[in-house]
Amino acid sequence: MMQSKIEIQCPLDTEIPEYDYSNWNINDANFQQCNFDFTDFFNNFMLKNLPCQIKNVTDNWKCARQWVKGDQINYDNLIEEYGDLIAPVADCKNIQFNSQCKSDMKVHQYIEYLQNATDNRLLYLKDWHLRRSRPDDKFYEVPPYFILDWLNEYAMDNKEDDFMFVYIGPKGSWTPLHEDVYCSYSWSVNVVGRKKWILFPPGEEDKLKDRFDNLPLVFEPEKFQNIKYFEITQEAGDALFVPSGWHHQVINEAQTISVNHNWINACNVEIVWKALEKCLIIVEHQIEECKGTPEFPAECQLILKSHFGMDFESFVTFLCYIAKKRLSQLQGNTQADFNQYTLGKSIIKFDLKNILKVLNSIYVHPIFLNTDILSSKEDEFIQVRKDLRAVFSFCK
Ligand SMILES: O=C(O)CCC(=O)C(=O)O
Ligand SMILES: [Fe+2]
């Protein structure tokens, strides 16, 4: 029997508010899935860029049964299912150039290491694209709160690198203090184990920087005063929403497996754009001595891509892709389905409105006005912006 789809909606006049992080408290941001719906999440956390935790989201996850035995990792299952795959592994005891050294390992070798209690290395399997290696293995389902995800929609439609990961780490393994790629959101769900997170409201990280503007690899509370930060414990089955630009560090307090995604949508796309703009200014400053040469703008974009992961051209390509897809969905030419969900017209319009806002800002940016960096995208960019403006001039 065909299951009818659940339509995702938001009020038509939804606006992104001014951010205010001063009153947030983890005690008011902890929910059970059964009395916390998509709209609660959308209005109170995603729109406001505030963290929250939702308990027991893995009840229907296949991996929560197969990868877990009692409250421990089911080593045999992981070796049997994935032993021959290769995954990236960070060495938490080998720090070079302010980051953990990484190498690749066969999954069975890693799991054997994990099983061996006398091994005194501290290896953390992270950023493993298991879902990409096993596209038909539906080992987890994205919790409904997190399905508005342009980043992975774009990656999957265009067969590009996705942002969907599995992490496996022993007790004591850790992730250094960082902000997520592109200043995106992330979500993390523990399949088994426990993590302790430290999160900083945006801007607070500036107080942690040294005189060269570098952040410490780990934040040690006793070394700083007057820093606002939050400690959050994430148990098995818990989902944590990490908003854009909230720096964070993580330690596994037991052997832990987690799934996480990075994601962008209409609620944080402007934050991403501002972070891209800011990163360009920093890069321009770094190679100031070349300013005025014909190569300067292109050189900056190259460095931007390596620092930020994205340059102006790839960002515009991404936005135009989502905009064209949503325009076609709005006109009813294509379906707007994600598994059992479908995008309502209000969400599609909300997407388009916020893309238009960013395109308008790009339209008056010196990179668009004074350089040829976006020339290969110019016609498409102008057309998409025109089409979006037409949508909103009609419905005023
Ligand atoms: O679980 C970890 O070690 C890091 C996860 C993380 O940084 C994230 O989900 O954004
Ligand atoms: Fe992160």
Candidate from 242, 262, 268 with most ligand 1 atoms within 8 A of CB, to mutate: 242
Check if the beta carbon of residue 115 is closer than 8 Å to that of residue 153.
no
Candidate from 173, 175, 181, 183 with most ligand 1 atoms within 8 A of CB, to mutate: 175
Which one has a higher pLDDT value, 334 or 351?
A: 351
In the predicted model, is pLDDT for residue 1 greater than 60? no
| The two structure tokens encoding residue 141 | 């389902």
Measure the CA–CA gap between 218 and 176, rounded to whole angstroms. Answer: 6
Q: Locate the ligand 1 atom nearest the alpha carbon of residue 260 and give its number.
A: 9
0.85 exceeded by the pTM?
Answer: yes
Q: Which residues line ligand 1 (CB under 6 A)?
A: 167, 175, 180, 186, 188, 195, 242, 248, 250, 258, 260
Task: Read off the pLDDT band of 2 (50, 70, 90).
Answer: low
Side by side, the strands of the sheet bearing 6-8 are: 6-8, 341-343, 337-338
| The two structure tokens encoding residue 146 | 């997190």
Measure the CA–CA gap between 280 and 305, rounded to whole angstroms. Answer: 10
Measure the CA–CA gap between 186 and 260, rounded to whole angstroms. Answer: 7
Q: Locate the ligand 1 atom nearest the alpha carbon of residue 248 and give its number.
A: 7
Task: Read off the pLDDT band of 337 (50, 70, 90).
Answer: confident
pLDDT at residue 12, rounded to an integer:
82
pLDDT at residue 3, rounded to an integer:
66
Q: Which residue, judged by its Cα, is nearest atom 3 of ligand 1? A: 175
3-class DSSP state of 173: coil
Task: Read off the pLDDT band of 222 (50, 70, 90).
Answer: very high
Query: Mean pLDDT score of the chain, rounded to an integer?
Result: 95
Q: Which residues are within 5 Å of ligand 2 (an ion), measured at CB?
A: 180
Q: Is the dihedral of CA 108, 111, 115, 118 positive or negative?
A: positive
SS3 string, 113-134, reads HHHCCCCCCCEEEEEECHHHHC
3-class DSSP state of 306: helix
Partners of residue 248 on adjacent β-strands? 178, 199
Q: Locate the ligand 1 atom nearest the alpha carbon of residue 178 and give its number.
A: 7
In the predicted model, is pLDDT for residue 141 greater than 70? yes
Compute the distance from residue 250 Cα to the ligand 2 centre, in Å.
Answer: 8
Partners of residue 190 on adjacent β-strands? 258
pLDDT at residue 394, rounded to an integer:
60
Ordered alpha helix ranges (H), 158-265: none
Starting from the CA of residue 197, give the closest ligand: 1
In the predicted model, is pLDDT for residue 206 greater than 60? yes
Taking 3-state DSSP, the helix, strand and coil percentages for the chain, each rounded to the nearest 5, stand at 40, 25, 35
pLDDT digits (tens, 9 = 90+) for 359-395: 999 999 999 999 999 999 999 999 999 999 999 986 5
Using CB atoms within 10 Å of the CB of residue 277, give its burial: 0 to 12 exposed, 13 to 18 middle, 19+ buried.
middle
Starting from the CA of residue 252, give the closest ligand: 1
Q: Locate the ligand 1 atom nearest the alpha carbon of residue 187 and give its number.
A: 9
Candidate from 194, 255, 258, 264 with most ligand 1 atoms within 8 A of CB, to mutate: 258
Compute the distance from residue 187 Cα to the ligand 2 centre, in Å.
Answer: 9
Task: Read off the pLDDT band of 214 (50, 70, 90).
Answer: very high
Measure the CA–CA gap between 112 and 251, rounded to whole angstroms. Answer: 21
Compute the distance from residue 108 Cα to the ligand 2 centre, in Å.
Answer: 26
Task: Read off the pLDDT band of 340 (50, 70, 90).
Answer: confident
pLDDT at residue 117, rounded to an integer:
76
Look at 68-72, 116-120, 200-204, 314-318 and tell me which has the smallest mean pLDDT: 116-120
**Rounded mean pLDDT of 287-300?**
95
pLDDT at residue 114, rounded to an integer:
96
pLDDT digits (tens, 9 = 90+) for 232-289: 999 999 999 999 999 999 999 999 999 999 999 999 999 999 999 999 999 999 999 9
In the predicted model, is pLDDT for residue 96 greater than 90? yes
Q: Locate the ligand 1 atom nearest the alpha carbon of residue 249 and give its number.
A: 7
Check if the beta carbon of residue 85 is closer than 8 Å to that of residue 268.
no
Q: Locate the ligand 1 atom nearest the alpha carbon of residue 251 and give its number.
A: 3
Q: Which residue, judged by its Cα, is nearest atom 1 of ligand 1? A: 250
φ/ψ (deg, to 5) at 135 = -60, -25
Starting from the CA of residue 174, give the closest ligand: 1
**Rounded mean pLDDT of 38-53?**
97
In the predicted model, is pLDDT for residue 334 greater than 90? no
